[in-house]
Structure 1
């Protein structure tokens, strides 16, 4: 079903859960995404009823009145052909009734979208730099944007909408004004400064940014030439600012939908969405609206997400929308950052939120010459110690930064370089101690200690602005934080990648920032799309732009200068090649091949090669495999996280021809027959991938079309419910009391405000339907998952699985039903998706079904069922199922 409806009260469950003290994971309380009692209702435009003169909102209001359902209108949507409907406040128990009303197409909960997270590495003010006459910006050199700029291709005449936290249009590099004649010409503030996603939005005509995220996005797209010697990808384009985030907090999907629709109505050529949440489904309502806008002719570019640590199948919506260009991140070949320069010419990278603010030159003092000391600066220095006017080098260790800083300050020091005591970097926090500080790496710190010992006259200075530090380790590689796909239907979720790691751009208040994330990669592609459309206005359909960007991209290896290509599940077609995409001499389509799983294999595909030149060309075709990605470890309930294992496992391709001649202006079809790899364990749910290479005979043109398939059955090999005890130390699913006790046997609840159960479960895989019902306590139904305690090894799925009895017990009533569920993760940076906790009642004082009907006193069991991937929701065997202990209802 393309357009989903959540027909039962998930939102009301979220509202009741505010009374629950949720179990904690690493001290973080998981909160629901839904906004209590808030729903988006999609309406028909009534043309199918022969009632074109009837306003759909009036029609809806009439039927709500007839059904005796009181509601409050929050927002209207009136984009005919895209989305007509309303956001309303209403009792959650009425959701199913509303769905059945005439002209109602869908009912969706209002959900919250987290504020986009980026890794802020640096903030610098405006200083005096000489502006280069040509484009030398590293990310542009990586992608061919510099070559387009040097030919005067700058995106003139194109309009790019930024749906984000607003834009600081007062910034010198973003035009300094808002409205006609400015760089930021249009836009709207849907929310106001104080909006956090849960309170009342206050709309305004002035979409000014107070957060900085949207401003950085806008700079990547279209910054003018500035003192820091960079421009945006499409600096001659105009921008639109559509604000959906306040200064803090989240945004609701209703605001994002409204912003996309207005941007489309305002005539955007490209809409950028550097936001989203892990879902993996194209059926999420924001993704659905994005899909429709793309189908209507507007290019939408969206961030693939920063969930790389969460493992496979963790794509963000709305990047999952049909036809949306989903963008992963590649690390910059340099790392712009604060720096220090030694008198011998050596540069040192300072890891701090801002540069050390001084133009003086200092001598260096060593807190200790022992680079293994764990207690350096943890005790006051002798009275004879004098660090006045010196930069003090201090090793990180067992005591806090603030203790070390205070001891240095007491000895006269005011600038500290901490060096790490382990690999990597860290955040320096000396609290209120009035010193300037930065962190350098362990390697640089130990080398600097040795240099000072050898040359006590060595001095150090801190230049204004930033220094481009080479990044030989990960530069040009897919960023570790970039999310993996594919989508739950096994279509590619990442179209291609762009520079997103360590990206210099514009910040609030005429500053410049360095951030990292797919939020930075997405606007880069939005800018490239604008360059493409500016040069090819007659070939600007979203499908064509998408295909050209992907097929001209350059696949990346797993390591710098490596030969094994990285999985398509994370890099899509590879790093964008803007020059070849915009000035293409040939067209290779489609942009990708989705081969699906073993049950739904689509292994015979057609590749079309079109010669856009003025003379005949010949092309060679080849299979270029990438490494296979393992979703699970063998027999495990929990997907691999932190680092996805990559193994050899290549498909083979039989080509109808490996060498074709194509006349000028003509096209030729080549039939490809894929043979999935053998030798991979289906229980790992291995995702194999690679590229079909198309190279001109003179080697002047190279195209590649990514392909991806699954060497397993999604329905039979991909577990949905996590039945391990790895997350809580208790086997799940499980019932939880208000007092946070897990229920292990029969239990009685009075359903007072502090005596109600909730259901805890985790999803190892996405499920198109999760449904909980009450059944009789004496049911003989055998669930597919048998509860077994005290199993220490989480590799238990094959031990506790049993074929379910197909004869389902009679349902006594539905407690909740949720469609298109995302999977749970362990990753510490995404604890919101750690688990589901849902109260079992729509009422805070009585036990009630989802429709509001009171559950009579008596004995029951809770039956939880999760639809398997590619399962048929009408077939009971296509669900995993779990039965609770006996629950006695005894209303007080």
Structure 2
């Protein structure tokens, strides 16, 4: 065996299917167990093998064919300086080939082995298509976020527009016929390079996905396919250009590789192929607004992306939209070591339809978007008198017909409002109050009665009502209690109220320039800081395919990432030679001058770097300022080791003026990752905050630097004195306060750390793992029960069910003989770099089926590569056994038994 190669020996793939139903008594109250099915992002029986050199690819393929014959299907072959290898899949379950695969993976030319993983189709925090196919320049200017990031100053004062910079986009393709995207493809057009790697029909959710590459990356998917035009929106953010719209780098050249069909996900070997082609094409920047469950930097796509970045190509990756699921939710490949991981900040405005309610006075209060996670509060004060702003609860566009508003329930104002609908609501809008009758029921009842829509207000809360039903057949308009009662009072006096819908206008967001609530939260499981930095991704107006309306608003880190990519293009425009700086230095420069956002606008408490990285990019300062600090961030790790308590910052003055700074600690709010009031270590989803802060011991508190000089500051952390069992994630910014703003702006370096020992965190949630009879899913067996496994009865098969509280580098599934306590083999293949479960209904539990066979240790297995017997798994003999599940603790050593959390099942009696 080759030493120090965890990725080779232990990588595997296996379906992790969510428990179809579960014995509820075996789970704590805070687990919301659903009955839907789920597969992890690991693809069963599919692998990516990295090889030492190009010449080893074909011989390795021959070895695979000789060993597995018709059971193997070879996929991509990679012969590139950054990655030589091959992807392949096996038609029968991995466990049937466990040891043979181990022997192949120990081949002299094998460098590493990765499980092939699935990246789902790009997901958005929200999407809206305006009712108009275009907007006026006045509204477009209000919707533009460029004033938040200084991009407007770069365009106007420096005249940088991205000209001469080639930006690669790896996404769902692009409608390059869109006028704002150049109107064509190839030489002389904005979208000059690219390829369709998969074709319209490609869908990884099918058993045998069809790959039909095409010569251009055209996204021609219509609305009937469910496609949202993700790649076209991304392209517009980067380089869109029309009379009424300007992207970040409007004169940049684009190269697009289409990796998604009209529906479904993509295997990461396709992403690798696109990354390598982007490098070969000569891209200066590569944008990846894609990702999957992460937390670790060792996925194949993340590794390749990092290698490309180390060559000086700027690889920009969306951090993910899992912020509502708490800490450690950064996606892969944003976890890559040398990429730029981008968080999302909210725009200043959004477009909203609005209406005039006859007989009402000026707008009262504020009006909230339909889903808090998509957009915070919206302020109606900018609207004309008698106008009220709203947004539909549906992500699909509704037609708003002006009509009369009437009382929508006989019992309005009491519990159950919306359940007794008057027939007179037909053809009108029904006014209802929040009550015990669910919003879904209210909407369904009113729709059945023929209502055009529903206006709902809060029962006892002055905040606007937040509708949460996204698939209602009629529009749902949420207003505040005060507005609702004013409308009701007028109707009670038999005074007519007519709603007149007046199109769309921008409305201000009270969350402008703050981290978007959906943006994923760091750190990595190795406690490396992610995200690195933030850009505008909440409520971004950009291009859509012409079939989907040409223009639209999307929210997601998928929008923040291309905004960052375009900003890097503007920075490269400022250099005499765009290759004179490495990608890491550019990332640090953006981090040095980022805007550090508060937790709420109008307060002083800074949001954590675990949410915002260094903060929101400020492109003009990044270009114009001559002082640079490296590294761009610090991780003090956890408090179990002294190795990370002290770091050194180097500050260099590349300018011609003397500069001086006061060095201070601007602590942010700390993240409380767990809710310990619930039994066990339940994640706070979303995160909670505390004002607990670390102190810093600085070797120098005043820095004076002459031109072309460098100084160093040593930083030692004094963690906050809190209960280490809470694992508080502290953070803040080391700020260099300039004494002369004309000579230099302030700079800052974010830092993070954890109070406690991450190695002490439990790996499994309470009351898991457990085993179940796959045919009687309502029965769970605990450690005191005996399960009788009938080898000849398919109805007595076992499901192993567990919930990971903490991500782990290694999971082992051992078969133990009860009498001797001897490990006789593995009932499932070992799994590596596993993501934690969340309270999301699709990923709450893992359920792994066991087929009654096991793989003995390799020394007991006679088969070898190329032999006829390539199936080493054998039936479990008669006897009494236990299943032992071992999860490696964070920062654990896989060679130390004590570094695993171990669970053993009750007795499993194997009979015929």
Q: Could you tell me the TM-score, scaled by structure 1's length?
A: 0.86
Cα distance change of structure 1 residues 582 and 849 upon mapping to structure 2, 3 Å threshold? farther
CA displacement at 1:31 relative to structure 2: 2.1
* CA contact 2:447–2:453 (8 Å) conserved in 1: no
Given the alignment of the two structures, is residue 317 of structure 1 paired with residue 332 of structure 2, yes or no? yes
Structure 1 counterpart of 2:664: 622
2:752 corresponds in structure 1 to 708
Mapped partners of 2:15, 2:134: distance in 1: 53
Q: Deviation at 1:171?
A: 2.2
Displacement of 1:631 after TM fit? 2.4
User: Are the structure 2 counterparts of residues 447 and 333 from structure 1 closer, same or farther at C-alpha, using a change threshold of 3 Å?
Assistant: farther
Structure 2, unaligned runs of 5 or more: 24-32, 222-226, 359-384, 858-870
Matched, 1:602 2:641: no
Change (3 A) 1:599 1:9: closer
Superposition deviation, residue 139 in structure 1 = 1.8
* 1:720 aligned counterpart, secondary structure: coil
Q: Which residue of 1 aligns with 2:88?
A: 88
1:860 positional shift: 1.6
User: Are residue 290 (structure 1) and residue 305 (structure 2) matched?
Assistant: yes
Measured at CA, do residues 292 and 23 of structure 1 come closer, stay the same or move farther in structure 2, by a change above 3 Å? farther
Distance (Å, rounded) in 1 between the aligned partners of 2:486 and 2:153 = 39
Q: What CA deviation, in whole Å up to 9, does each residue of 1:731-757 have, x standing for no partner?
A: 434454342232232222124443321
Aligned to 1:522: 561
| Mapping of residues 597-676 of structure 1, within 5 Å | 597-600=638-641, 601-634=643-676, 637-676=680-719
Q: In the alignment, which of 170, 178, 183 is matched to residue 171 of structure 1?
A: 178
Distance 1:557 1:117 in 2: 27
Q: Which residue of 2 aligns with 1:499?
A: 536
1:136-535 pair list within 5 angstroms: 136-151=142-157, 152-197=159-204, 198=206, 199-209=209-219, 210=221, 211=227, 212-226=229-243, 229-341=244-356, 344-351=385-392, 352-353=394-395, 357=399, 364-367=405-408, 372=413, 378-379=419-420, 381=422, 385=424, 393=431, 398=437, 399-409=441-451, 414=452, 417=455, 423-427=465-469, 429=471, 431=473, 437-443=475-481, 444-449=483-488, 460-464=499-503, 466-472=504-510, 474-509=511-546, 510-535=549-574
TM-superposed CA distance for 1:67, in Å, is: 5.1
Give, in whole Å, the separation in 2 of the partners of 1:374 and 1:407.
Answer: 20
Q: Is the 8 A contact 1:311 1:639 kept in 2?
A: no
1:862 counterpart residue number? 883
Q: Per the alignment, do residues 823 and 208 of structure 1 end up closer, same or farther by CA in structure 2, a change over 3 Å counting? A: same
Q: CA–CA distance in 1 between the matches of 2:232 and 2:476?
A: 26
1:604–1:672 Cα contact (<8 Å) kept: yes
CA deviation string 1:633-657 (max 9, x = no partner) = 4495334222322112222222222
Q: 1:136/1:875 Cα in 2 relative to 1: closer, same or farther (>3 Å)? A: same
CA distance in 2, matches of 1:64, 1:368: 69
8 A contact 2:525–2:890 mirrored in 1: yes
Q: Deviations over 1:533-558 (max 9, x none)?
A: 12222444210111111111111111
Q: How far, CA to CA, are the matches of 2:757 and 2:357 in structure 1?
A: 59
1:99 to 101, 105, 108: 105
Deviation by residue 1:210-266 (Cα, 9 ceiling, x = unmatched): 32122222222222135xx44221121122222222222221111111111112221
Residues 549-578 of structure 1 show CA distances to partners (whole Å, capped at 9, x for unaligned) of 111111111121111111211111111112
Q: After superposition, what is the alpha-carbon deviation per residue over 1:587-627, rounded to whole angstroms, capped at 9, x for unaligned?
A: 12211011111233412221122223222111221111112
The 1:582/1:447 distance shift into structure 2, 3 A limit, reads: farther
Within the candidate set 683, 689, 695, 2:731 is matched to: 689
- Which range moves more in the overlay, 681-690 or 305-314? 305-314
Contact 1:79 1:261 in 2 (8 A): no
* Distance apart, 1:180 and its partner CA: 2.0
Following the alignment from structure 1 to structure 2, what is the Cα–Cα distance between the partners of residues 380 and 870? 60
Q: Distance in 1 between matches of 2:500 and 2:348?
A: 25
Asked if the contact 1:428–1:439 (Cα under 8 Å) also holds between the matched residues in 2, the reply is no
Distance 1:114 1:695, change over 3 A: same
Q: Following the alignment from structure 1 to structure 2, what is the Cα–Cα distance between the partners of residues 317 and 9?
A: 17
Are residues 1:110 and 2:116 paired? yes
Distance in 2 (alpha carbons) for counterparts of 1:713 and 1:126: 55
Q: 1:870 deviation in Å?
A: 0.9
Q: Is the 8 A contact 1:178 1:186 kept in 2?
A: yes
CA distance in 1, matches of 2:788, 2:230: 50
Task: Report matched runs for 1:648-797 at 5 Å.
Answer: 648-677=691-720, 679-700=721-742, 701-715=745-759, 717-722=760-765, 724-725=766-767, 731-740=768-777, 741-744=779-782, 745-751=785-791, 752-779=793-820
SS at match of 1:642: strand
1:5 is matched with which residue? 7
Deviations 1:332-374 (A, max 9, x none): 232322333457442412324456547x866655547986256
Q: 1:491 to 1:337 in 2, by over 3 A?
A: same
- Give 1:135 shift: 5.4
- Aligned in 2, Cα 1:865/1:180: closer, same or farther, shift over 3 Å? same
After TM superposition, the score normalised by the length of structure 2 is 0.84
Does the 8 A contact of 2:12 with 2:114 survive in 1?
no
Q: Gapped runs of 5+ residues in structure 1?
A: 47-54, 726-730, 781-808
Partners in 1 of 2:212 and 2:186 — Cα distance? 20
Q: Cα distance, 1:688 vs. partner?
A: 1.1
Change in CA separation of 1:233 and 1:128 when aligned onto 2, cut-off 3 Å? closer
Q: How far 1:480 moved relative to its partner?
A: 1.9
In the aligned structure 1, how far is the partner of 2:574 from the partner of 2:139?
23
Equivalent position of 1:836 in the other structure: 846
Per-residue deviation at 1:392?
5.6
Contact 1:22 1:30 in 2 (8 A): no
| Separation (CA, whole Å) in 1 of partners of 2:537 and 2:493 | 40
Q: Which moved more, 1:547-556 or 1:88-97?
A: 88-97
Q: Whole-Å Cα distance in 2 between the matches of residues 489 and 653 of structure 1?
A: 22
SS in structure 2 opposite 1:548? helix
- The structure-2 alpha-carbon separation of the partners of 1:332 and 1:838, relative to structure 1 and needing over 3 Å to count, comes to same
**Contact in 2 for aligned 1:154/1:235 (Cα 8 Å):** yes
Partner of residue 548 from structure 1, selected from 576, 580, 589: 589
Structure 2: distance between partners of 1:769 and 1:317: 18
Structure-1 separation of matches of 2:426 and 2:302: 58
Root mean square deviation, CA, Å: 3.0
CA deviations 1:35-66 (Å, max 9, x no partner) are 333221111106xxxxxxxx222221344466
Sort the Cα spacing of 1:880 and 1:362 in 2 relative to 1 into closer, same or farther, 3 A.
closer
